[in-house]
Each structure stands twice: as structure tokens, then as C-alpha cells.
């Protein structure tokens, strides 16, 4: 049985991915410091847990020992938080990633999957694709770009089997603690509060269900392709106002919207072309936004977050 390390495995993506990997027959080790991850998300699962920070080299050396692959999800993921504290963002997303890569190189770990986003592309016009030059507009975008660069450099310099996956806007179960727009809106609906939209609501996003994303991550883990990056998205553009309408339909509740000023670092239009992932990884999303929002709402109701 192959053993895989998932950093940030107690987080939103991690909680879903760990369950998928276990169902696929993998032994799973999780590295998490529980700064944002939730212990309850891993309760009762047959995993090995290493508690600690990705900046701690001794902890990281222990975590990567005797694994066949690393899926690196642990990160500072908030654009506003990166604007508020860019040094912390850099420490977690750049130095933390470099620490893991170097530990993997020295331990002979053959596979490294890096979780990125469209933030490195910043000012580029959509649809986002793999050939566009990065133009980040936030510290978060810059730190993720640096992480991508180090992953590609470790493949180019030492042959480490790295692959970079740029995630679109995620939603799904186990997201109750996150700051994603779907999570924040569902929490507001449950608490009978207005939904806060930054700007006029015409900004667009590419919303991908976490189950589809986890399939892409597993395919990336099992692929022989290295030194490449892939957009993982739906290719569909949805405005934030359209999202609120769909969420109102799913919940059966009328929603009130409050508008606030656009935040520094926010992108106005964002969606991705996914043909490279379809052709080379054999992956495509299968969950409609309506179906995914329904699954997510059911999870929020059951967990009362």
C-alpha cells in the first residue's frame, strides 16, 4: 500500500481529499498545525497524524519519511490577509513550500503535487491558461507564483516529480471554517444575515466543486507528467450576483444583499480554460453548480457551522 503525505490535511480540501485517498486504497499521513484546520474533520479516520508547522524542518523531515508522494495543500490562502501581512504570507507560502521541497529531495520522495491558484496570473485577461505570463496583483498571488517556480525548478534541477495544479474558486463540504464566498454566504443565510458583496456583484468566478478537484489531485499524483502546471476549473464564468440567486434557489430562502467597497487585490473577472488537463490528465469536471451547491448546503445544515 502506497503512503501519501497530505499537508494541510485537516483543512477544507484536505478533509475531502483524505477520504478519497483512503477509499482509493492509499495509506495517508497528514501534516497539520491546526492553525485553521479542524481536528473534527479527521476524527475516526485511519490516518497517521504529524502535528506541526511546515516551517519546522525536523517536523517536515519526519513527515516525508517513507512516503511515495506529497500533496502540498498547507498554505495561507486569503488575499486580504496577504495584503494585511505580506511577510507572514511569504513565510508560509514560499519558505514553507521550499522547506518541503528540499526535504523531499533529500529523502528521495518521487512525487510532489503543489496546490496553487489563478492568483499568480492577476491582471491577465481570462480565460486563464497555462501559457499566460504571470502578473500577480496581491502578495498572495506573488507567494503562490514563487511556490510554483520552486516546484518547477526542483524538477529542472534535480528531477523531482513535481506538478502544479492551479485551482479555481472552490466550494463544498468541510468548508465551514473557510473564508470562501460560498461558505461565507451559506453561513450568513443560516444566521439570517445579509450577504456582503464587495463591489457591484458583476465580478466573475469559476466555481469548482471540491469532489471534482480531488479527482484532479489524485490524477496529478498518479500521473507520470512532471515539471508542468495545469488549470483545474470548470471553464464556466459565474457572476457573484448569479451565485446568490442560485444559492437562494437551493436554500429556498430569500436573501438580502449588502454592497461594500471592492477589496485591494481582488480580481474583477476570473475563469479558466481546462483543455490541457482534459487532454493530458484525462480529467474534466462533472458536477454542475446547482448540484454542488445543493451538496454543500446539505453539509452546512447537517453540521450547523
Q: Which residues are catalytic?
A: 140
DSSP 125: P
CB–CB of 30/6 below 8 Å? yes
Q: Select from 133, 88, 140 the least CA-distant residue to 264.
A: 140
Which three three-digit cell numbers place residue 104?
523531499
Q: Select from 13, 8, 14 the least CA-distant residue to 34.
A: 8
Residue 215 makes CB contacts below 8 A (sequence gap 6+) with 20, 283
Q: What are phi and psi of 113, to 5 degrees?
A: -105, 125
CB–CB of 217/17 below 8 Å? yes
Where helices occur in the chain by DSSP H, the ranges are 12-23, 57-64, 79-84, 86-90, 96-107, 139-158, 181-190, 210-222, 240-251, 275-276, 289-303
Q: How far apart are CA 52 and CA 31, in angstroms?
A: 7
282 Cα distance to chain centroid: 20
Q: How far apart are CA 3 and CA 171, in angstroms?
A: 27
Nearest 5°: the CA angle 243, 212, 143 is 80
Helix (H, G, I), strand (E, B) or coil at 283: coil
Distance separating the N- and C-terminal Cα atoms of the chain: 35
CB–CB of 164/72 below 8 Å? no
Amino acid at each position: 500500500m502506497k503512503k501519501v503525505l497530505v499537508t494541510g490535511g485537516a483543512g477544507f480540501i484536505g478533509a475531502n481529499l483524505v477520504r478519497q485517498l483512503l477509499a482509493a486504497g492509499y495509506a495517508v499521513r497528514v501534516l497539520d498545525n491546526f492553525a485553521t484546520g479542524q481536528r473534527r474533520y479527521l476524527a475516526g479516520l485511519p490516518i497517521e497524524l504529524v502535528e506541526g508547522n511546515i516551517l519546522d524542518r525536523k517536523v517536515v523531515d519526519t513527515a516525508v519519511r517513507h512516503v511515495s508522494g506529497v500533496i502540498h495543500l498547507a498554505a495561507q490562502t486569503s488575499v486580504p490577509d496577504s495584503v494585511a501581512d505580506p511577510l507572514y504570507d511569504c513565510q508560509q507560502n514560499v519558505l514553507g513550500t521550499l522547506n518541503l521541497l528540499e526535504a523531499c529531495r533529500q529523502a528521495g520522495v518521487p512525487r510532489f503535487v503543489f496546490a496553487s491558484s489563478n492568483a499568480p496570473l492577476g491582471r491577465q485577461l481570462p480565460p486563464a491558461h497555462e501559457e499566460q505570463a504571470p502578473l500577480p496583483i496581491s502578495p498572495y498571488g506573488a507567494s503562490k507564483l514563487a511556490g510554483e517556480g520552486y516546484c518547477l525548478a526542483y524538477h529542472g534541477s534535480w528531477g523531482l516529480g513535481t506538478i502544479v495544479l492551479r485551482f479555481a474558486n472552490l466550494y463544498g463540504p468541510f468548508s465551514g471554517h473557510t473564508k470562501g464566498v460560498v461558505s461565507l454566504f451559506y453561513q450568513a443565510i443560516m444566521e439570517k444575515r445579509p450577504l456582503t458583496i464587495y463591489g457591484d456583484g458583476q465580478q466573475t468566478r469559476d466555481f469548482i466543486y471540491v469532489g471534482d478537484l480531488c479527482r484532479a489531485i489524485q490524477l496529478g499524483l498518479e500521473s507520470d507528467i512532471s515539471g508542468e502546471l495545469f488549470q483545474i476549473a470548470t471553464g464556466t464564468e459565474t457572476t457573484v450576483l448569479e451565485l446568490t440567486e442560485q444559492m437562494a434557489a437551493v436554500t429556498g430562502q430569500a436573501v438580502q444583499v449588502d454592497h461594500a467597497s471592492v477589496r485591494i487585490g481582488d480580481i474583477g473577472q476570473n475563469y479558466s480554460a481546462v483543455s490541457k488537463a482534459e487532454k493530458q490528465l484525462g480529467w474534466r469536471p462533472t458536477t454542475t453548480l446547482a448540484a454542488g451547491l445543493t451538496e454543500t448546503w446539505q453539509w452546512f445544515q447537517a453540521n450547523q457551522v
